[in-house]
Amino acid sequence: MTSKVKWEDTSLPAGNPLIVPAHIIKENVPLVFSSGIVGVDKNGEYPLELEIQIINAFENLKVVLEAAGCESLNNVIRVFLMVKDSSYVPTVNTIFKRYFTGKPSRTCVVVGFPCEKILVEVECIAALHPKKPSSKL
């Protein structure tokens, strides 16, 4: 499966506690690469509130990963976040830590989106671990 390089395993100063600096895949694990997922609601509308767009984006990513066969966001080993404004990062981090408890590797950049209504976009790489057999008889 995968293992993690922790900040304390490096000679670097402690980094962002929400993430680890790297993941190692030691065997042939199928990977899922998502496209950029935005914070639209069920009607395809962009909420004006940053928090709602972030939650929607993470929930939409969960739906995509589930459709690909991932059990949860704990399968995510790499996240690429794009935000419209750097002032959004503290709010993104607060919500990120609730969704990504497995501490994936992560990059966050400020970008100009082609659609003015988009405030945040997320894409990821997830390890597609085989599902455990059901214990039901």
Domain boundaries, the chain: 2-7+16-127
pLDDT of residue 136: 46
pLDDT of residue 24: 80
Q: Strand, helix or coil at 52?
A: helix
The pair of three-digit structure tokens given for residue 84, joined into one six-digit string? 């419209």
CATH class entry, domain 2-7+16-127: alpha beta
- Tens digit of pLDDT per residue, the chain (137 long)? 677 888 888 887 777 787 778 878 777 878 899 999 999 999 999 999 999 999 999 999 999 999 988 889 999 999 999 999 999 999 999 999 999 998 899 999 999 999 999 999 999 999 986 555 444 44
SS3 per-residue string spanning 86-110? HHHHHHHHHHHHHHCCCCCEEEEEE
Which amino acid is located at 80 in the chain?
F
Q: How far is Cα 62 from Cα 53, in angstroms, rounded to an integer? A: 14
